[in-house]
A and B are shown apart, each in its own frame.
Chain A
Amino acid sequence: MIRKLLFAAALLAAPPAALAQQVAITGGRIVTNTPQGVIENGTVVINNGRVVSVGTAAAPAGATIIDASGKWVTPGLFAAFSRVGLTEIPSEDPANDISAGGSKFQASLHAADSFNPDDTAIDVNRIEGFTRAAIVGAPGNGLFGGYGAVVDFSGGFDSIDTRQAFMLAELGEGGASAAGGSRAAAWTWLLTAIDDSKAYPRGFEDDGEGDLLIRKEAVALKPVVEGRIPLMVEVHRAADILQLLTLRQREPRMRLILLGATEGWRVADQIAAANVPVIVNPLANLPDRFEILAATLENAARLSAAGVTVAIADPGEASHNTRFIQQLAGNAVANGMKWEDAFRAITSVPATMYGRADLGVLRAGATADVVIWDGDPLELMSSPDAVYIDGVATPMESRQTKLRDRYMKLNENKPQAYERP
């Protein structure tokens, strides 16, 4: 992968040493996601992996100029929820590390330890503008899905940014099933796990274990219980959301993120008052399950209008089509969300949610994840012309583009297998 990155730099007619040189992206429509707003005909200067300046000043002398006239220049997209890198083929067990139903460890598991930077889905999603993602497994046994990580999509062996970005848990129908058969069982399960962790180590003396958790799991949950790492809880039904919010009184130190919140619009004011961010799928509009009867395309817009911090992602399309998030955001706009809020919902909101205020924005000092688009990034027919991660231009190719190039013309004299795109 590093070789690929160097190769890409060479394609830009610059020697590898140029990686440390200044690059000025000029003439574009810059979406900053800061109080600077949108800057027309602006310049973004990057150097040593950081944004140096954003504005309308001329490019500094000596900088490599990238002409982005007529283009959009934005922060890299940040997938608020993804499973890229955890499975090459979900239906094949050896190629799927998403969950571990046979393990006695769940809260202790770290998605970062499964992440494969050579996963072909990384390139596939990066060339659609995604530079970072929060990745996490799924609960295999019990309510906890383990620690989610923040990764970059460079494909390098150093792609893990944050090993412990959040912990995933599941309530609602899924949680009820995992806890033995009812919501009441799931709620008791969650509270007991919290209590076990709080009681550790005193409650575990004399080689004993907790009411629910073994030692290793109780230890693993400590940063969550102590509020150092947020707990992301998948929950959909309005009443389930309200119940979860009562945890804020019982455990004031804990920080929550709601995943799903499909009926969130019905309790939007309470979510806003609790200052809990949500990750929603704006296209969830079918009463697929009894916990989402009130699903509507306007959920994202209504939550946003109520003052809730909204990120956008679809856990159902998380592994290979994380890129679908772009379409989700466009549709959120079509159904009433402000463009600015929808774009932040796939950039700066998730970045901030996971403690990375240096991402998802274009301002001096920010990490230089930058995308140059051939049009409005929320439009279906737009796509990136260039994707920078940590200030480095990444290859605009994937296994898919190679297959495409191989089969663009059929019935050639030699079999396709001799063609090396």
Chain B
Amino acid sequence: MHLLKLIPFIAVAAAACATTATSPNTGGTASPPGEPTKPLATRVSYAKDPYPSTYRAMPAEDVFIRNATVLDGLGGMIDRGAVLIEDGKITAIGSEAAMTMPAGIKTIDAAGKWVTPGIIDIHSHLGAYPSPGIGAHQDGNEVSGPVTAEVWVEHSIWPHDPGFTRAMAGGVTAMQILPGSANLFGGRGVILKNVPGRTAQDMKFPGAPYTLKMACGENPKRVYGYGSGGFPGGAPYSRMGNVAGYREAWQKASEYKRKWDKYETDFDAWEKKAKSPAPADGQKKEDPKDPPSPPDRNLELDTLMGVLEGEILVQHHCYRADEMAQVIDLSKEFGYKVSAFHHGVEAYKIADKLAANGICGALWADWWGFKAEAYDGIRENIPLVHQAQNGCAIVHSDDAYGIQRLNQEAAKALADGNKAGLNISKAEAWTWLSRNPAKALGILDKTGTLEPGKSADIVIWSGDPFSSYTRADLVFVDGAVTWDRANLNSQPVVDFELGQPGEGDRK
């Protein structure tokens, strides 16, 4: 019966395995050559990317950027460096003296300027909590329950949020948009390229994985336990209730996955039997029974199963060190990996454990004290997470203003770390802004560093980007100029701003 109900959603195809199905299909048949003509039933699977990216790179010129101080994003610095951009890709980077400039190419003399990979903000709510922050725009958190892994934040994104263009002026070329942190499981995040679009799909980073937002600590307790004014409001009411909520959901997801795994195994066996040739002795082939029935689809558990299968990356909001340690054990209990802890105001207390478990810390430079779990914030948090062996530190914003100057946040953290006795270079510190977030988002093969073959997501800064006085002069995404500080016509004005005071002004 449920098979019939599912038919409109059934995806391809008899020969395809579930993990490669890409588009919805009303079913199909497959009859291997020479087999009986009776149609075989199709394997039920679901599209993994039903809202696909429609991003198209803007027109780009080939460019040779020369005479610059280049930070490669891998921890290296090149004086009098050059970067070659061709067909939207970085094709060469190095000391200008060692490079050959293609004939007839457009050149940018970046004397006195610095060139870096574009900044990637791993924690933003742009588009989901857009400006103006009116009631009608509160689309960033599906507060209706503590487990809402079934919601996808891309379905909330308003591409006309002016915040996207402000972030562009700050050198941001890509970002992860996350749902909010009221829930234990807040839903799926999405990775965007920072380009203007008519739709969220126009901004989606092609080939980027999905992510899952989870949250520790005070927020779920406050919202569900005692947020509604009743006593007790509901679960979770305590930190132990938070963990019980995670475990319950992961247990359901494990059982759901087991059902799907069984379905796959059973279907394989059924299909093998159905396709097997008639016995050689001329006897009639055994008629295949009805194919196995798939489990009922559950959108919430689909997302959690994606995590258990390693396809969806967990981004966990967690402030206190002791809670992060609990979550690490939780992830081992159910067999998944945390990609990054976000906010991690106490990450410095367990920098060794984070590094040993391959988990990045996505952190603020200096926000602290606004709630109890942020009380132990220190300004050396980012450099101390970096300093641990194999440490992975990320500067994040979680803020429509902070995203505009993540380089400045890195500068503050770097200065404080070095003043406390660490010895971190500016070139190393840039890994906090592009390479490490790209790694934690699963897009490091495409962007995040200046290496041949990668997308030309690049910023030319007016000077040292660790200075208060420096601004992004030119911002490139896939080799196309998305922002030009010297040219107002190369600064996007979103729909909302048209006809309003200050339209088209320097922002």
Contacts and interface: CB of A to CB of B under 8 A. Distances in A.
A298 interface: yes
Nearest to B418: A381
B497 A91 contact: no
Contacts of A404: 348, 378-380, 384, 420
Given A89-B375, A380-B411, 14 more contacts: A91-B372, A120-B369, A266-B501, A288-B132, A288-B133, A294-B500, A380-B408, A383-B416, A383-B419, A403-B376, A408-B421, A410-B352, A411-B352, A416-B349
Contacts of A321: 366-368
Nearest to A402: B378
Interface string A112-131: 00000000110010000000
Interface in A298-333: 298, 319-321, 323-324, 327, 330-331, 333
Contacts of B414: 381
A156 to B, nearest CB: 22
A89 B371 contact: yes
Interface of A: 88-92, 120-121, 124, 238, 263, 266, 283, 285-290, 293-298, 319-321, 323-324, 327, 330-331, 333-334, 378-383, 400-401, 403-404, 407-408, 410-411, 416
A292 to B, nearest CB: 9
Nearest to A317: B367
A320 B368 contact: yes
A380 B468 contact: yes
B371 A330 contact: no
Contacts of B502: 263, 287, 293-296
Given A121-B369, A286-B401, A331-B468, A407 B416 contact: no
B496 A287 contact: yes
B370 A287 contact: no
Interface in B341-366: 348-352, 366
Given A296-B502, A296-B506, A403 B496 contact: no
B156 interface: no
B497 to A, nearest CB: 7
A340 to B, nearest CB: 14
8 contacts: A285-B401, A286-B163, A289-B132, A293-B501, A331-B405, A404-B348, A408-B384, A408-B421
B331 interface: no
B471 interface: yes
Interface of B: 131-134, 162-163, 166, 218, 348-352, 366-372, 375-380, 384, 388, 400-401, 404-405, 408, 411-412, 414-416, 419-421, 466-471, 496-497, 500-502, 505-507
A324 B416 CA distance: 14
B378 A403 contact: yes
Dominant SS among interface residues on chain B: loop
Contacts of A379: 467-469
B377 A330 contact: no
Contact of A407 (B349, B367, B372, B468): B349
Contacts of B467: 379-381
Contact of B506 (A89, A297, A323, A408): A297
A380 B401 contact: no
A407 B384 contact: yes
Contact of A400 (B370, B378, B507): B378
A297 B166 CA distance: 10
A319 B367 CA distance: 11
B133 A285 contact: no
Contacts of B366: 321, 323-324
Q: Which of A263, A285, A319, A410 has the most CB of B within 10 A?
A: A285
Given A333-B468, A378-B468, A407-B349, A285 B507 contact: yes
B357 to A, nearest CB: 14
Contacts of B350: 410
Contacts of A382: 415
Contact of A238 (B166, B218, B375, B501): B501
A286 B131 contact: yes
Contact of B469 (A89, A319, A330, A400): A330
A321 B372 CA distance: 15
A287 B468 contact: no
Nearest to B494: A287
Contact of A333 (B367, B469, B496, B500): B469
Contacts of B132: 287-290, 293
Q: Which of B468, B496, B497 has the most CB of A within 10 A?
A: B468
Contacts of A120: 369
Contacts of A323: 366
Q: Which of A319, A324, A327 has the most CB of B within 10 A?
A: A327
Nearest to B412: A380
A411 B349 CA distance: 10
Contacts of B500: 287, 293-294
Nearest to B500: A293
